[in-house]
């Protein structure tokens, strides 16, 4: 069903997992996405991490705030289409100056077959920036580690709200076959 059109050969999901572990991230709220599937599997396999499956992405923003109030680090995983769902909830992050680390797999920007993904995918970065969430972007597999590490450092050591966009070119466009 899902073929890889990407060129990245490195195991970037493992790299992300290692960085989250090294930063003592515990709570990992997520709405599943194909691009995050391997990372989600690794998080479920780690007894020190707490995956939290959500019904909608905005729950994850609120959960991240609660985790931080209780002294625990979190990373929110979602797909670009979910970012729009979070917009008002990001008021919580801004009004209370909570740190945030969210890792977003992109749809609707590179070889996208499904036009319904394009409206939100093409405005994902703006949606974050509208709510003053700092955006970093990884275009290639080689960029993932450095970018996620930089974001984690800004979030957990600097108290900044940061989103990392993992490009569709990196993830690989989903190919629908009849």
Q: Which residues bind other proteins (CB under 8 A)?
A: 26-27, 50, 52-56, 58-72, 74, 88-89, 91-92, 95-99, 159
* CB of 163 closer than 8 Å to CB of 132: no
Q: Which is nearer to other proteins, 119 or 159 (CB)?
A: 159
Q: Least Å distance between CB 158 and other proteins? A: 9
Q: How many CB atoms lie within 10 A of CB 178?
A: 2
**CA–CA separation, 133 and 61 (whole Å):** 12
Q: What are phi and psi of 67, to 5 degrees?
A: -60, -45
Q: Least Å distance between CB 139 and other proteins? A: 31
Site of tokens 């709220």: 29
Q: Which is nearer to other proteins, 64 or 144 (CB)?
A: 64
Q: Least Å distance between CB 177 and other proteins? A: 32
Contacts of 86 (CB under 8 A, 6+ apart): 57, 58, 60, 61, 78, 127
Q: Least Å distance between CB 89 and other proteins? A: 5
Q: Which is nearer to other proteins, 61 or 104 (CB)?
A: 61
Q: Which is nearer to other proteins, 11 or 157 (CB)?
A: 157
- 29: which 2 tokens? 């709220």
């Amino acid at each position: 069903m899902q073929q890889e059109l990407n060129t990245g050969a490195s195991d970037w999901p493992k790299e992300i997992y290692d960085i989250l572990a090294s930063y003592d991230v515990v709570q990992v709220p997520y709405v599943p996405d194909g691009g995050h599937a391997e990372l989600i599997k690794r998080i479920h396999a780690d007894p020190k991490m707490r995956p939290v499956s959500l019904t909608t992405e905005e729950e994850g923003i609120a959960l991240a705030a609660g985790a931080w109030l209780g002294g625990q680090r979190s990373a929110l995983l979602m797909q670009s289409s979910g970012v729009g769902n979070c917009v008002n909830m990001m008021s919580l992050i801004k009004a209370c100056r909570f740190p945030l680390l969210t890792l977003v797999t992109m749809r609707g920007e590179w070889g996208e077959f499904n036009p319904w993904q394009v409206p939100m995918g093409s405005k994902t970065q703006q949606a974050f920036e509208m709510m003053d969430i700092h955006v970093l972007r990884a275009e290639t597999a080689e960029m993932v580690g450095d970018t996620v590490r930089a974001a984690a450092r800004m979030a957990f050591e600097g108290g900044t709200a940061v989103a990392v966009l993992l490009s569709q070119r990196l993830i690989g466009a989903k190919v629908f076959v009849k």
